[in-house]
Amino acid sequence: MLEKALKGTKAYWIWVISVMAVMGIAFLFYLKQYHYGLGITGLSRDVTWGFYIAQFTFLVGVAASAVMVVLPYYLHNFKAFGKITILGEFLAIASVIMCMTFIFVDMGQPFRIVNVFLHPSPSSLMFWDTLALGGYLVLNVIISRVVLDAERKSIPPPGWIKPIIILSIPWAISIHTVTAFLYAGLAARPFWLTAVLAPRFLASAFSSGPALLILLCLLLRKFTKFDPGKEPIQKLALIATYAMAANVFFVLMEFFTALYSDIPEHVMHFQYLFLGLEGKATLAPWMWASEILALLALVLLLNPKTRRREGTLVLACITVFISIWIDKGMGMVIGGFVPNPLGNVTEYAPTFPELMISLGVYAMGILIVTGLYKIVLSVRGEVRA
């Protein structure tokens, strides 16, 4: 079936070549980073994780969000999702591969990563995260291949795939929980030391993921013969609505515990993010934008009229995605480092090479999604001639 990704119109190939060009340029920047060291990024002794890890954290959520289409369809026979579960699974595959690549480009000695498997360290959440992400990738590759192959042959998928699909449901929850545990178990970082971090990650994943899936489905409808239909889109929108409401609620809970208890080592991080510390407030405009967009998104999603109208739904999905991208990515990750454990304020901003490398990783993800979705559409005969 992979050969179907290699047949396409001129427009398709122009798109693919352009994406690959971006990847090529980004690769050159990566070579520069590999040669010089990670000092080429904006990272420093105080802010040791930044843009790359922020993207990783955000994309694990998108990868996990496939469960929001898989669970209703396979566990509760929600037939309306029949045509889009494969799209969710393919999006998950692309996201997990992007996650792994963001980790790779963030390592100081990337070619020693095999040490994680040569010297397993069960006390380290990073060890479990590699297993969880690797396993999730394998699961989704097997599931999507078997199911799509069956669809191509117009036969029901084999019985043995069902338990594997069911397994992918708790596994999806676990990949994002493990990623949250990476942060939430550290005594050194009171900003992250909260039990609600994993639920918050899941809630934001289950709103940003479906939002992206809605946008992708509508994009496909614009450029190909694929039409998801109104019901799956509306159901996805409803899922995103409830998940976004939960996410905003969790964020407000975080505000309350920190700000009401008034413990300096908790308050200081919120103060830096939203007001600035010692006159340094680079992230403040971003954080306020994120919160305003979140509220706007909630208003658009909670109101059935704006949720049902496609124009406003698209706007809502975009605002959900951007708001959570800022909040979970830069906000949460950088916020944990400022101020540092000694109370010093060091700011962080990604550098141009850092952004270019990240763009390249995103381009790779877009390429994977393009190729995989092309395969699905070819199998279903829904490619535009």
Partner 1 sequence: MKIDRRKFIKFTGLTTVGLAGTPIVRALTGEDSLLTPAKPAPSLDNPLTAKRWAMVIDLRKCISKEGCTACIDACHLTHNVPDFGNPKDEVKWIWKESFEHAFQEQEHEYIDEKLKNAPTLVFCNHCDNPPCVRVCPTQATWKREKDGVVMMDWHRCIGCRYCVVACPYGSRSFNWRNPRPFIKKLQPDFPTRSRGVVEKCTFCEERLARGLMPACVEACPEKALVFGDLENPESEVRELLKNNYTIRRKPALGTQPEIYYII
Per CB under 8 A, residues contacting partner 1 are 36-39, 43-46, 48-49, 106-110, 112-113, 115-116, 118-119, 121, 123-127, 130, 182, 186-189, 264-265, 336-337, 340-344, 346
Q: Calculate the alpha carbon distances from 213 to 7, 91, 207 in Å.
A: 24, 8, 10
Count of beta carbons in the 10 Å neighbourhood of residue 231: 12
Tell me whether residue 339 or residue 365 sits nearer to partner 1 (CB atom).
339
Residue identified by tokens 């040791």 is 48
Give the separation between CA 119 and CA 270, rounded to whole angstroms: 38
Tell me whether residue 38 or residue 215 sits nearer to partner 1 (CB atom).
38
Tell me which H or E stretch contains 296.
helix 284-302
Give the separation between CA 236 and CA 232, rounded to whole angstroms: 6
Contact 5, 377 (CB under 8 A): no
Count of beta carbons in the 10 Å neighbourhood of residue 22: 17
Tell me whether residue 111 or residue 160 sits nearer to partner 1 (CB atom).
111
Shortest spacing between CB 341 and partner 1, in angstroms: 4
Shortest spacing between CB 347 and partner 1, in angstroms: 11
What amino acid occupies position 357? I
Tell me whether residue 29 or residue 373 sits nearer to partner 1 (CB atom).
29
Residue identified by tokens 């929108």 is 237
Shortest spacing between CB 141 and partner 1, in angstroms: 24
Shortest spacing between CB 183 and partner 1, in angstroms: 9
Give the separation between CA 358 and CA 365, rounded to whole angstroms: 11
Tell me whether residue 56 or residue 274 sits nearer to partner 1 (CB atom).
56
Shortest spacing between CB 113 and partner 1, in angstroms: 6
